[in-house]
Structure 1
Amino acid sequence: MPPEAEQDTHIRALRVLETLAGMQQPAPLPTIAERVQLSKTTAYRILRGLQDHGFIDHTGRTGYRIGSRAVALASLIGPRPALLQIIRPVLKKLATEASETVTLHLRSGAHRVLVLAAEPPGNPLRILPTLGERSPLTSGCSGQSILAFLPRQEADDIVRDHTRDGLRPGLPAALARIRKDSYALSFSGIHIGFNGVAAPLLDPTDGTALGSIAIAGLDRRLPRDTLLQLSTPLRAACADLAPRLATVLGPNSSIRLDPLDVMIRDFLDQPS
């Protein structure tokens, strides 16, 4: 492909992403194509590419919506005070109570993306979050607590792909336990030497996981008994936050998603 044509393709992808971000969501393919002044075939090809890389999510017949990877990118660009006001106090309170790092993860296809974090005061051994970190839903408590509460066929497809790659086959049983307990535990699941507990943020309209909140730290500071104790306030916080978060990020939300409207650094840097 000539450099000029490749550059044009990249610009069109950005235009599609920007246009979708400023639309009522989920948005159908014909409407997106019309707004960007592209054929439906071209728009679909671009949307599919953005979907494959986690920048948008396909919600079935209802169309497309901004994905968690785009939200993570947007966090470095533009503020959304309303979102920060909802989430920040919840994460900070948990971090203070647990004396460990607390993180918010959003689903993006078969992955989860770390989009917000709160670090505990006075803990030099805390885990340092990597904003924008993207991991499979099959790995760690933050991903598995989302995976367990996806529509069953979607979850089964992800698990099937996971086991096809030769990874641990005990995942279905683990997900069944998570559905029963409403939380997930992780012992060196993603980062060696770190344990964690996570609970899902469930859309109240259909019980589907929008994301998860996790508490994580050094394994010697967070043995199983401590994680189990932390699961109670964690689940309570998720139950309180999820309905409010759903009005901002939920796939069934009627709230307009403005373009590039989340600022993680504001969340981390604002004083208490």
Structure 2
Amino acid sequence: MSQVPAATRALRVLRFLATQPGPVPVDRVMRACDLPRSSAYHLLRAMADEGFVVHLPEDRTVGLGVGAFEVGSGYARSVPLARLARRPLADLADGTGASAQLAVLHGRDVLYVVQERAPGRPPLVTGVGVRLPALGTASGRAVLAALPGPQVRALYADAEAFPVTDGTGPRSLSELRTVLAETRQRGHAVEHEEVSEGLASVAAAVLDHTGHPVAAVAVTLPVGEDVGPAVAGVVRTAGVLSARIGGRG
């Protein structure tokens, strides 16, 4: 044990929860992380207060909170992922004739970190460094659809989580769940003119070794164009990037 035992135990909890497919019972966390029962609940409560753990009292389980995903997204935004993605995104743009982007989840927003603009295509609002509400974008929906349900519920726990829009996009948790279920069934995410008039996007998630989404690959093209090649391209490119980071294609 280090000279800062509380910090060591908190990191053990985060590392353990990151390997689980979803929330797990508190007793299991204590056994796996060798946490004294006398301090385990205090530690988990402090981690929940900071957003790194979410407690589901009805199930008596805990899982990773929004704070943990923000840290993971911060790593995903670092140079390695951007460097790994640039060539595949350029190939995607060349192959589809449409602009391609890589975005990561940051809280309830997506942050665009790489963009490859196809020749002859107009500039997009989703430039590098731009943040948009995740639930209204194909990239955000692709990532959210790959998150465990409790994590989505923690992100969108109240009405304030749903921004006022022109009527497009989900306006409640139940509507969002419907959109995400359709996304999972379809195998990719879509949005039509919810970000920019006259443009549509398709996206697929990049998954790490535990199956958690660290980013999304998207292609944007004019409404009315055949999306078949774009769908095939983003799914293939997301699989390539997943494999490159040791994840699931």
Instruction: Name the TM tier (shorter chain).
Output: 0.5 to 0.7
After superposition, where does 1:100-115 map in structure 2 within 5 Å?
A: 100-115=98-113
1:182 equivalent in structure 2: 187
Task: Pick the aligned partner of 2:201 from 187, 196, 200.
Answer: 196
- Counterpart code for 2:84: I
Distance change (3 Å), C-alpha of 1:211 and 1:64: closer
Distance change (3 Å), C-alpha of 1:236 and 1:106: same
Contact 1:67 1:108 in 2 (8 A): no
- State the secondary structure of the residue aligned to 1:189: coil
After superposition, where does 1:17-56 map in structure 2 within 5 Å?
A: 48=50
Contact 1:182 1:200 in 2 (8 A): no
TM-score by length of 2: 0.62
Percent of matched pairs sharing the same residue: 22
Contact 1:188 1:194 in 2 (8 A): yes
1:160 to partner: Cα distance: 4.2
- Counterpart code for 2:106: S
2:220 equivalent in structure 1: 216
1:69 to partner: Cα distance: 6.0
1:168 aligns with 2:165: no
Q: In 2, distance between residues paired with 1:217 and 1:141?
A: 12
- Aligned-CA RMSD value: 3.9
Higher relative contact order (CA 8 A, sep 6+): 1
After superposition, where does 1:58-207 map in structure 2 within 5 Å?
A: 59=64, 66=71, 68=73, 80=79, 82-120=80-118, 122-127=119-124, 129-161=126-158, 165=162, 168-169=171-172, 170-205=175-210, 207=211
- State the secondary structure of the residue aligned to 1:226: coil
Structure 1 residue ranges, 4+ long, deviating more than 6 angstroms after superposition: 62-65
- State the secondary structure of the residue aligned to 2:146: coil
Contact 2:103 2:139 in 1 (8 A): yes
1:64 to partner: Cα distance: 8.4
1:231 aligns with 2:228: no
Distance change (3 Å), C-alpha of 1:100 and 1:173: same
Q: Give the length in aligned residue pairs.
A: 192
Distance change (3 Å), C-alpha of 1:118 and 1:63: closer
- State the secondary structure of the residue aligned to 2:226: helix
Distance change (3 Å), C-alpha of 1:172 and 1:127: same
1:262 equivalent in structure 2: none
Q: Which runs of 5+ in 1 are unaligned?
A: 1-22, 28-43, 50-57, 251-272
Distance change (3 Å), C-alpha of 1:71 and 1:199: closer
- Counterpart code for 2:231: S
1:161 to partner: Cα distance: 3.1
